[in-house]
Amino acid sequence: MDGITSQFNSQFELESGYAAARVKVRRAGVRVWDLPTRVFHGSLLACVSGAVISAQLGGNWMDWHVRFGAATAGLLVFRIVWGFVGPRYARFRSFVHAPRTVLADLFKRGGERHAGHSPSGGASVLALLSVLTALTLSGLLSSDSISTDGALVRYASESTVTAATSLHHKLQWVIYALVGLHVLAVLAYLLLKKIDLIRPMLHGDKPGLRAPHAADTLSVRVVGLGLMFSSVTGAVWVLRA
């Protein structure tokens, strides 16, 4: 695995040309978010929104709730893998920081800019991914005792299903809170620190920075989108959504 990752990384760096000697400010901006990461971000938003809406509608819509949940599981698998082998700013090691660093970033005055996620932004991403993973896993073991069972209910004891169902219902409120905080943080950066975090996630570039570019070549896009597609379709097929 290390050999494959090393070869993959070398290809990224060779094709993207973001060696230190080439670090400079470009009018178009520094390429921070590769296309697979941006597609993941939009797809996750769509799937989580679909899962929430279908759950609220209930009835026959619960079939779609299961489908959206399975697709979310596939997206999370992709993001975890991409967090280790993807371009530099998509990797966990680029935005995972010690708690004191996160706290210092939260209360720091001024508008310091980061090419990737800031320490506090990285903590928010990790929290969202962690809770979504727990929500998805608990959903696989949840049952409404009427017509909708998670894919793993048949293999679990009644007490496990009861506990998982309760946890699944409670975690939805945690997700609402985290998403709300995430949106407020983005707005705070935009209005108070004059840092736009929205458009870079749409087109991939952050202007006015002196930083290395993230790899976003054709091969990166093909590999990343292929991995995402296979993860999502595989999860939907395995979970029989």
Q: Is residue 4 part of a domain?
A: no
Q: What is the torsion angle, in degrees rounded to the nearest 10, for the CA atoms of residue 74, residue 79, residue 82 and residue 88?
A: 160
DSSP state of 146: S
Contact present, 66 and 80 (Cβ < 8 Å): no
* 18 domain-assigned: no
What tokens were used for 191? Answer: 């209005």
38 part of a folded domain: yes
Q: What is the mean pLDDT of the chain?
A: 86
Question: Do the domain assignments include residue 26?
Answer: no
In a domain, 21, yes or no: no
Does residue 217 fall inside a structural domain?
yes
CA distance 94 to 168: 30
Domain membership flag for residue 6? no
Q: Are strands 205-206 and 30-31 parallel, antiparallel or unpaired?
A: antiparallel
List of residues 6+ apart from 111 with CB closer than 8 A: 193, 194, 195
pTM score, whole prediction = 0.84
Range of the domain at 153: 34-238
Q: Each residue of 94-124: pLDDT tens digit?
A: 998 888 988 887 777 655 677 888 888 889 9
Please tell me the total count of domains within the chain.
1
Supply the CATH number for residue 185's domain: 1.20.950
In a domain, 28, yes or no: no
For 16-45, what is the mean pLDDT?
A: 72
CA distances from 236 to 64, 75, 197 (A): 11, 11, 31
pLDDT at position 2 over 80: no
Q: How far apart are CA 237 and CA 100, in angstroms?
A: 42
Mind listing the pLDDT tens digit for each residue in 131-160? 999 999 999 999 988 888 999 999 999 999
CA atoms within 13 A of residue 16's CA, in its CB half-sphere: 27
Cross-strand bridge partners of residue 30: 206
